[in-house]
Amino acid sequence: MAVVELLVGTTNPGKLAEIRAHLGTLPIHIVPLGKLASWPEVAEDGKSFEENALKKARTLADFTGMPTLADDSGLEVDALGGAPGIHSARYSGEDANDARNNERLLQELAGLPREKRTARFVCVLALCLPDSRQRGDWLFRGECGGWIAFAPRGDNGFGYDPLFFFPPFGKTFGEVDRETKGRVSHRGKALGKFAEALPTLLPLLHRP
């Protein structure tokens, strides 16, 4: 079976590693965004994970002429009305990083008991064909529920993983390895749906 080149629209090494781990055995060759000489900046100004993921994938597919997979993901905390949500990556401001984002989240939830710290990770993957082909796009959504710990635990993963406590494991995502996390995570579930759909999609991806 011919291998399809698939542009993955992220420069986040953690996301890229998770995507490679899930799709590595499939008949696709992953092209990381960072391998391109240049690419357009995409403002993530949509009102939902779906809008942002589609915008990224569509922009990059049309720019490169390659089938493109892009994601938008984040953490929704019930006590915060679903925040940080689509603003997860910049929760602590324009100079945000994982540590600052986690610190702000803990501050926002200070004093709340465990039963009021429920949350879920959400990931939406968008697959888009270039505009030069028969236009097409697909969405794959995954969610994973848990609650926000009272302090960071574990050095694995990235983003809010050290604060996201997953009850079936009795640990945060920061305390488990990538493979273990990937079996239950929001991105793992979305990638699983993409992998299930791939046999149907391959003829379209091969189309010149």
Q: Enumerate the H helices of 36-185 as residue ranges.
A: 49-64, 98-108, 178-182
Confirm if 147 and 172 have CB atoms less than 8 A apart: no
Which of 71, 72, 98, 161 is catalytic? The answer is 72
Question: What's the Rg (C-alpha) of the chain?
Answer: 17
Helix (H, G, I), strand (E, B) or coil at 68: strand
Any catalytic annotation for residue 72? yes
Confirm if 164 and 75 have CB atoms less than 8 A apart: yes
Q: How far apart are the first and last CA of the chain?
A: 16
**Catalytic residue ranges:** 72
